[in-house]
Amino acid sequence: METRPFRLGEAGGYLHRFRLRIAYEKEGPYLERVPLDLEAPRGALLLEATLDPVRMERRGRVASWDNVVPGLLGYAFHNYVRAFRESRSLETGQSLFLRWTLNSFLIAFIKVLTTLVFASMAGYALARLRFPGRQALFLFLLFSMMVPGQVTFISNYLVLKDGIFGLSRLFGVETLLNTYAGLILSGLVGAGAVFIMKQFFESIPREVEEAALIDGATPLQTLFRIVLPMATPALGALAILTFQGTWNEFFWPFIVLTSPREICTLPLGLLSFRNAYGQVGDWGLILAGGFLSMIPILILFAVFQRYFVEGVNVGALKE
C-alpha cells in the first residue's frame, strides 16, 4: 500500500494506492469468470483503477468488475470463448455457434450459386434475346424491386406453409417451413441481381456475339463461353453482394426457421444470446458474437475487392 497527501478540488486528504494481483500458482486460466466488488471505507472514494470497473455504485464507494480472470485469453477474449461454449445443443452437447455459422455458410453458398446462374441467364435474355413480352417482363422486374419484402412476406409464408401449392407433398413433405429448402427456394434469385447483369450485358459490344454467331455458336454457347468470361467483374460484385445480403439476412429466416434451434442461421442465433437473459441481454457476449459474424464478410471483401470495385464502376465510362 502507498499513501501520500492528495487534493481533490478544494478538499484535502490522503491518497491510498493498493495493488491487487490475481494470478494462478501454476498454468491457467482455470476459471472462466471471476467477478470482483471493491468497497471503499466510509468517507473515502474510489478514484481510478488500472482496469476500469464495469459500474460504480453508492456514489463512487463501490466498484464492480464482471470478470477479472488473469491472463490475456481469460480476460480480453473471455466473451469470445463464451460465444462457443454457452450455446450448446441439448441433445448432442455440441456448440450451436459453430452449427449456426455452418448453416449460414451453406445457405449463403447455395444462394450465391443460384443467383449467379439464374441472374446471368435471365439478364442475358432480357439484354440480347427478342421475344414477345420482353419489355413488359422487364417493367414487371422493375416493379418487383420497388415492393419491400415486408409487404409480401405473409403471402410468401402461406405459400411455404402449404408446400408451394401442395407440390412438396409429391416428395413426402407437408410444409416447407422450418426447412432450408423453403428458405432457399423463396430466394433463388433477386430482381436486383437480374437487373445488374442485364445492364452489364448491354455494355458488351454486340460485335463479339455476332462473331460467335458467324462461327456457329448457339445463344447458350455464346453466353457461357464468350459473354460470361467477360462478365467476371459483374459476377464478382454480384457474388459479394449476394453473400453479404444472405449472411446478414434476419427478417425472412426469422419467419421461416422457428424450431429447432439447430437449424437457425447465425443472425437468429445471436438473437438467442439476448433472449437467454430475459430480454436484458449480455452485451459483451452479443457484441463478441456480432464481431465473429463480421469476419467472413471482411475476408470475402478483401479477397474479391478488385472484382467488386470493377463491377460497381462498370459502365461508368463509355468511349
Model confidence at 104, pLDDT cuts 50, 70, 90, reads very high
Identify the CA nearest to 63 among candidates 78, 75, 45, 79.
Answer: 45
Model confidence at 319, pLDDT cuts 50, 70, 90, reads very low
Instruction: Decide: 201 and 128 in contact? Cβ < 8 Å.
Output: yes
How many angstroms separate the Cα of 276 from the Cα of each of 16, 87, 202, 229? 41, 10, 51, 49
> What's the rounded Cα separation, in Å, for the pair 161 and 224?
37
First to last CA, the chain: 77
pLDDT of residue 105: 93
Model confidence at 311, pLDDT cuts 50, 70, 90, reads low
Instruction: Decide: 128 and 209 in contact? Cβ < 8 Å.
Output: yes
Separation of CA 20 from chain center:
41
Q: Copy the grid coordinates of residue 118.
A: 439464374
Q: Which helix (H) or strand (E) holds 56?
A: strand 55-57
Strand partners, 57: 62
Q: Is the pLDDT of residue 264 over 80?
A: yes
Contacts of 312 (CB under 8 A, 6+ apart): 237
Query: Sign of the CA dihedral 153, 159, 160, 162?
Result: positive
Q: What is the pLDDT of residues 206-254, one digit of tens each?
A: 888 888 888 888 888 888 888 888 888 888 888 888 999 999 999 999 9
Domains delineated in the chain: 23-76 (no CATH), 96-313 (1.10.3720.10)
Residue 147 exposed, middle or buried by CB count within 10 Å (0-12, 13-18, 19+): exposed
Strand partners, 104: none
Q: What is the pLDDT of residues 127-142, one digit of tens each?
A: 888 889 889 999 999 9
Average pLDDT, the chain: 83
Q: Is the pLDDT of residue 318 over 50?
A: no
R_g of the chain computed on alpha carbons: 29
Instruction: Decide: 188 and 116 in contact? Cβ < 8 Å.
Output: no
Q: What is the pLDDT of residues 149-197, one digit of tens each?
A: 888 889 989 999 988 888 888 888 888 999 998 999 888 888 899 998 9
Phi, psi for 175 (deg, rounded to 5): -145, 155
- Residue reference for cell 447455395: 110
pLDDT of residue 278: 56
Identify the CA nearest to 183 among candidates 150, 214, 159, 147.
Answer: 159
Model confidence at 11, pLDDT cuts 50, 70, 90, reads confident
User: HSE on the CB side for 317, CA within 13 Å?
Assistant: 2
31-40, 284-293, 301-310: least confidently modelled range = 301-310
